[in-house]
């Protein structure tokens, strides 16, 4: 789509602020509008399809993160209202098709990432990996758009149905082993792409938290309760409570949501904290409620380092700070260092790769100006002279990278630079 007037004006203003740093100026000029210019389709039905970049499908998670930095401009820009409102409508349409699906086709064309996946695919589904964050991000977009613009015409019956479905699924998945029909089997040599136990995942004990099969990286959970995902659920369930009360006047939905929210938060605080011998009390990445824990962090959002970014707790929370020190150390099996960068990677990409998204979020969740400036410089220096951000890259050779066209990563970088400009750091 063409750039809305408010975005073009902002880019011109940013050009002046960043004129002292020509490379950063060009990076921002490329990355800030990247979603609008390359991955946004305004459809004939008035909805918006936002695909992820080099893959032709729309992820519920990615599509939210790709447009969040445009919300502050939407209040007085009708084009942005049409685009973001249309995306919200499209996301809720997809959730009503199937709340367990993470990525959808533009039309019901029966295209899939793997035709052989055993997971009850239908023609709308690109991939059916159940991830808590896939239900959380659309609610975050809906709520942020409402609060920024005051527009309420997005709150349709279809949105109400989707919000109710989100609550129902999370309640069901509190008892995954007993009540859920969800399963996922992918015929692959990579254990990160399929669920153990005949596609059901390893057994989980009741904790109050809600189960998921996959992480935000689209890799399989080791244990069923992903702590950052459950933290995000606590945040967005608070949003649903407010929407149910103020928009739909549904006291029953608000009460069910509040009960679920309190149970999940209890589970996080009771089962999700580990007393680490080096770092003290830290949040685990995953647990099964049987006393087993996965201590790591992943570059995908939500992750442990992103806890303040998703709104669960404050940057200065002592358990978060302990967790942050763990995540940014070699005690995290997916923390890597090299000649040009150091940061968090993922089992989703080759061993040793650092992710640009992880560096951006590390800076977005820092209260140390020097750390933020250093991370911004690292991001500038590791674009491999492409003018864009990527997924993972080798910290000894930034020209060795994955995904040359990854709009989510570009949007996160742009969000960081906006924040740094606001705070006078660049």
Q: In CATH, what number is assigned to the domain containing residue 82? A: 1.50.10.10
d(CA 95, CA 138): 9
Helix/strand/coil (H/E/C) assignment for every residue in 56-116: CCEEHHHHHHHHHHHHHHHHHCHHHHHHHHHHHHHHHHHHHHCCCCCEECCCCCCCCCCCC
Radius of gyration over every alpha carbon of the chain, rounded to an integer in angstroms = 20
Q: What percent of the residues of the chain are helix, what percent strand, and what percent coil, each to the nearest 5? A: 50, 10, 40
Q: How confident is the model at residue 2 (pLDDT cuts 50, 70, 90)?
A: confident
Query: Does the structure show a pLDDT above 80 at 164?
Result: yes
Condensed to tens digits (0 to 9), the pLDDT of residues 273-320 reads 999 999 999 999 999 999 999 999 999 999 999 999 999 999 999 999
Condensed to tens digits (0 to 9), the pLDDT of residues 19-33 reads 999 999 999 999 999
For a pLDDT cut of 90, what percent of the chain falls above it?
Answer: 97
d(CA 34, CA 282): 36
Q: What's the confidence (pLDDT) of residue 147?
A: 98
Residue pair 258/250 in contact (Cβ under 8 Å)? The answer is no
Residue pair 10/73 in contact (Cβ under 8 Å)? The answer is yes
Q: How confident is the model at residue 188 (pLDDT cuts 50, 70, 90)?
A: confident
Residue pair 164/253 in contact (Cβ under 8 Å)? The answer is yes
- Beta strands 293-294 and 335-337 are unpaired
Q: How high does pLDDT run on average in the chain?
A: 97
Average confidence (pLDDT) over 57-70: 98
d(CA 57, CA 339): 35
d(CA 345, CA 91): 28
d(CA 194, CA 97): 23
Q: What's the confidence (pLDDT) of residue 187?
A: 87
Condensed to tens digits (0 to 9), the pLDDT of residues 139-152 reads 999 999 999 999 99
Structural domain total, the chain: 1
d(CA 349, CA 9): 37
The pTM is what?
Answer: 0.97
Q: What's the confidence (pLDDT) of residue 189?
A: 65
What is the four-CA torsion angle of 408, 135, 130, 39, rounded to 10 degrees? -30
| Parent domain of 9 | 5-422
Burial of 184-195, coded b for 16+ CB within 10 Å and e otherwise, reads: bbbeeeeebbbb
- Answer positive or negative: Cα dihedral of 397, 402, 405, 408: negative
Q: Which residues pair with 343 in a beta bridge?
A: 336
For a pLDDT cut of 70, what percent of the chain falls above it?
Answer: 100
Residue pair 118/194 in contact (Cβ under 8 Å)? The answer is no
d(CA 376, CA 357): 12
**Which of 257, 204, 200 is closest to 233 using CA atoms?**
257
């Amino acid at each position: 789509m063409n750039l809305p007037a408010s975005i073009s004006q902002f880019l011109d203003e940013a050009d002046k602020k960043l004129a002292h740093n020509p490379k950063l100026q060009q990076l921002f000029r490329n990355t800030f509008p990247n979603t609008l210019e390359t991955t946004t389709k305004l459809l004939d039905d008035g909805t918006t399809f936002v695909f992820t970049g080099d893959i032709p499908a729309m992820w519920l998670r990615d599509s939210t993160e790709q447009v969040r930095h445009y919300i502050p401009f939407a209040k007085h820009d009708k084009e942005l209202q049409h685009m973001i409102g249309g995306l919200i409508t499209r996301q809720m349409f997809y959730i009503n098709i199937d709340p367990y699906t993470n990525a959808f086709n533009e039309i019901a064309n029966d295209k899939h990432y793997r035709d052989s996946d055993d997971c009850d695919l239908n023609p709308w589904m690109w991939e059916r990996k159940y991830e808590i964050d896939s239900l959380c991000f659309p609610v975050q977009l809906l709520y942020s758009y409402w609060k920024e613009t005051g527009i309420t015409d997005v709150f349709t019956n279809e949105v109400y149905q989707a919000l109710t479905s989100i609550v129902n699924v999370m309640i069901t998945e509190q008892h995954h082993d007993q009540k859920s029909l969800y399963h996922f089997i992918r015929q692959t040599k990579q254990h990160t792409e399929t669920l153990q136990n005949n596609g059901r995942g390893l057994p989980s004990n009741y904790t109050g938290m809600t189960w998921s099969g996959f992480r935000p990286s689209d890799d399989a959970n080791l244990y069923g309760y992903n702590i950052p995902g459950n933290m995000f659920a606590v945040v967005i369930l608070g949003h649903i409570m407010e929407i149910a009360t103020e928009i739909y006047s549904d006291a029953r939905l608000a009460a069910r949501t509040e009960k679920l929210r309190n149970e999940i938060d209890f589970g996080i605080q009771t089962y999700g904290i580990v007393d680490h011998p080096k770092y003290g009390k830290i949040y685990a990445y995953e647990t099964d409620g049987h006393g087993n824990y996965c201590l790591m962090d992943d570059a995908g959002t939500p992750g442990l380092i992103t806890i303040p970014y998703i709104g669960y707790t404050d940057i200065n929370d002592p358990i978060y700070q302990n967790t942050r020190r763990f995540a940014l150390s070699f005690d995290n099996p997916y923390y890597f260092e090299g000649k040009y960068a150091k940061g968090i990677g993922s089992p989703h990409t080759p061993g040793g790769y650092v992710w640009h998204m992880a560096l951006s979020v590390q800076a977005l969740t820092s209260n140390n100006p020097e750390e933020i400036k250093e991370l911004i410089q690292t991001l500038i220096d590791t674009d491999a002279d492409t003018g864009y951000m990527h997924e993972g890259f080798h910290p000894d050779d930034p020209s060795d990278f994955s995904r040359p066209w990854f709009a989510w990563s570009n949007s996160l970088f742009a969000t960081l630079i906006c924040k740094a400009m606001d705070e006078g750091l660049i």
